[in-house]
Amino acid sequence: MEFDSDTFRRVMGHFATGVSVVTTLDPSAAGERPVGITVNALSSVSLDPPLVMVALDRRRRITPVVRAAGRFAVNILGESQQWLSDCFAGAPVVPDREAFCGAAWRPGETGLPILDGVIASLECTIAGIHPVGDHDLFIGRVIALANEEVHPMPLLYYRRRYLRIERATTLELEGKPEE
């Protein structure tokens, strides 16, 4: 059966995800310049040790930078942060990615850039890199993490559009919760 990559993207777009910005400090730049990219190919892969995976297209300028830095942070965006998702995905806005989208940030526990207002963040050292197809799978060992006790709802992405969660969710969970 034959299909093109647009069809593949369209079908996979039915899997709704959150949206994150993966950040790191470019070790080749003076003063370790913060850089970032919008990512929804994010997954938790192990609880013990705590590992996450992000998949970065090898053609992206930031991919070799993350590899060289040996570490990255995952910033999980809230529903009001679509502008960060757009900018870090290369939207023609000012300030652009070259200026870290003008985003306010602070160094996390390990010094990695944590964007102001994100609903949760993870700081990772790279435990493995697996080239698969046209992407590199970065396995991150989680060193530090944080989430806001009171935080906005997450920004969602579905069929190449942003979505927000409806508040009227009163249904009880019927499946078995994870232990």
The footprint of ligand FAD (CB under 6 A) covers 19, 35-41, 55-57, 60-62, 85, 89-90, 97-98, 157
Write down the least CB distance from residue 109 to ligand FAD, Å. Answer: 22
Measured from the CB of residue 140, what is the shortest distance to ligand FAD in angstroms? Answer: 13
Comparing CB distances to ligand FAD, the nearer of 13 and 152 is 13
Q: How far apart, in whole angstroms, are the C-alpha atoms of residue 94 and residue 49? A: 40
CB of 20 or CB of 108, closer to ligand FAD: 20
What is the DSSP secondary structure assignment for residue 47, as one 8-state letter?
T
Provide, rounded to whole angstroms, the least separation between the CB of residue 6 and ligand FAD. Answer: 15
Residue pair 129/138 in contact (Cβ under 8 Å)? The answer is yes
| Residue closest to ligand FAD, measured at CB | 41
Residue 103 in contact with residue 86, Cβ under 8 Å? Answer: no
Output 105 or 157, the one with its CB closest to ligand FAD: 157
3-state helix, strand, coil in the chain (%, to 5): 15, 40, 40
Shortest distance (Å) from residue 66 CB to ligand FAD: 10
Q: How far is the CB of 7 from ligand FAD (least distance, A)?
A: 18
| 69 and 125 Cβ atoms separated by less than 8 Å | no
Cβ closest to ligand FAD, residue 36 vs residue 108? 36
**What is the pairing mode between strands 17-18 and 156-158?**
antiparallel
Q: What's the one-letter identity of residue 88?
A: F
Q: Which is nearer to ligand FAD, 1 or 118 (CB)?
A: 118
**Rounded to the nearest 5°, which phi and psi values hold at 85?**
-60, -45
